Structure 1
């Protein structure tokens, strides 16, 4: 029996076994602008979450052997869209990300980056699904036997594979020191950290992740919003901003902006996630 645990739709803890939802926790936020815009969900409830997860399982096979792994751009401006654009433009060679049924993976195809990262976020734990591993390529899975989520091991594998410009997504602070050691011991390799799934981070963890990132998504993180806004960090987006922490991060955001035709006019009083936590 395979089991997959994700935090989604207001950071509700969702458990899926053999393609069926077996548990849905209470969401920690009530409103997400992205789900309102794209799925017309005005209030996050357990019923709405169940409906959305069942839709994903049916639509593209989330957490099942039928998982579709390729997709064109979904959001105008998200972490997976930025990453896929960087690969398309040969700015980076690969991305170390996370996929259900695989754990940590190395991706160098922009459509697979988008299909994996744009469809499922907040993966906490997963178990092997051989069919997904085969689609991704067993050589691209850091731990195909146990499907662990370990971004440091993913970066090590990418370096050993000869990649020189690597994006790695981080949802917390575990492993950041090890990534710095990899940077120090591999001066010919560029490793760019993208902060994701930040809702609920403590102030200490938010500060540490921000200090190590090129870019970071605000999600519904009280402290990512607070720290970045207080420091007037360059950002794209109003309802759920993505912040560029470094000059290289700003380059990445601007490249994506150029690809989609620039910034849309700002909305008056844009609605943001409620509450920030």
Structure 2
């Protein structure tokens, strides 16, 4: 059940294709700006050539497999979908104690405060850029029953700045937050200097916004952004990955990635290099 007469969720995925989900069905899918993406090829429902039909099928698979944008949505998870994604790194940070809360956007709930690695991964592991969402009462209940905090049960508002403020008010002191806009990142850094800022969903941002978010974030994902590749890559202390990498811009960000590597059993190549390092396969085209 929802708190609105009409249940509408708007997300951006796979090269800023805009997807509208109404009442449990994919109603609209815009044309993606990408032709191919190496990350999309590794999805549980792979997207080889990025067409509207392929994007729709991928979103429907997420809805069928874990209930995205539906009342029965899963909110707990333990599987790492990518090596150095935002949810994977923040989950690791909570496990090691370098973070005690994460402020995330969740379909069906809006901005939430999460304190366990299982919920960080359950909410963020397969989530794309959430533009707006409708409240889903059953899902919000499940989040709260498992220790999460929903900021706005009535409207499911997405407000990372308010989320960080509420986290500190609740007594958390090592707060991470995912942000998708430079303005939001700057506002958080100005008001909460100690917050850990993770820039996500960067495809298509302007050079000016890339400069702004790189100036305040601890880690940013490259996504398919040519400007993040250039601006963040040139200033990064560490790059994790070469196809769709993340760039650590502060010592705190660098340490988070190193801690994740230390906890993993996967073999890792460490090599000093001028950054960025481009892999043989990149999103096409970089936006």
Give the shorter-chain TM-score range. Answer: over 0.9
1:212: which partner in 2? 216
Q: Is 1:42 paired with 2:52?
A: no
Change (3 A) 1:8 1:86: same
- Secondary structure of residue in 2 paired with 1:33: coil
Candidates 125, 129, 136, aligned match of 1:129: 136
Equivalent residues in 2 for 1:133-172, closer than 5 Å = 133-137=140-144, 140-172=149-181
Candidates 110, 114, 123, aligned match of 1:103: 110
Q: Is 1:19 paired with 2:24?
A: yes
Name the CA distance, whole Å, in 2 between partners of 1:232 and 1:178.
22
- For 1:96-126, what per-residue CA distance to the aligned partner results, in whole angstroms no more than 9, with x for missing partners? 0100011111001101100111111200001
Distance apart, 1:227 and its partner CA: 1.1
Name the CA distance, whole Å, in 2 between partners of 1:265 and 1:47.
37
Equivalent residues in 2 for 1:183-222, closer than 5 Å = 183=192, 190-222=194-226
- For 1:172-201, what per-residue CA distance to the aligned partner results, in whole angstroms no more than 9, with x for missing partners? 1233343234226xxxxx311000000011
How well do the aligned residues superpose, as a CA RMSD in angstroms? 1.9
Q: Is 1:246 paired with 2:250?
A: yes
2:274: which partner in 1? none
1:187: which partner in 2? none
Distance apart, 1:141 and its partner CA: 1.2
Equivalent residues in 2 for 1:68-107, closer than 5 Å = 68-72=74-78, 73-107=80-114
Name the CA distance, whole Å, in 1 between partners of 2:183 and 2:141.
28
Name the CA distance, whole Å, in 2 between partners of 1:36 and 1:175.
30
- Secondary structure of residue in 1 paired with 2:232: helix
The farther-off stretch of 259-268 and 14-23 is 259-268
Could you tell me which runs of 5 or more consecutive residues in structure 2 were left unpaired when the two chains were aligned. Answer: 1-5, 271-276
Q: Is 1:226 paired with 2:230?
A: yes
Q: Is 1:2 paired with 2:7?
A: yes
Change (3 A) 1:230 1:178: closer
Equivalent pair of 2:10/2:133 in contact (CA under 8 Å): yes
Give me the TM-score of the superposition, normalised by structure 2. 0.90
Equivalent pair of 1:257/1:263 in contact (CA under 8 Å): no
Give me the TM-score of the superposition, normalised by structure 1. 0.93
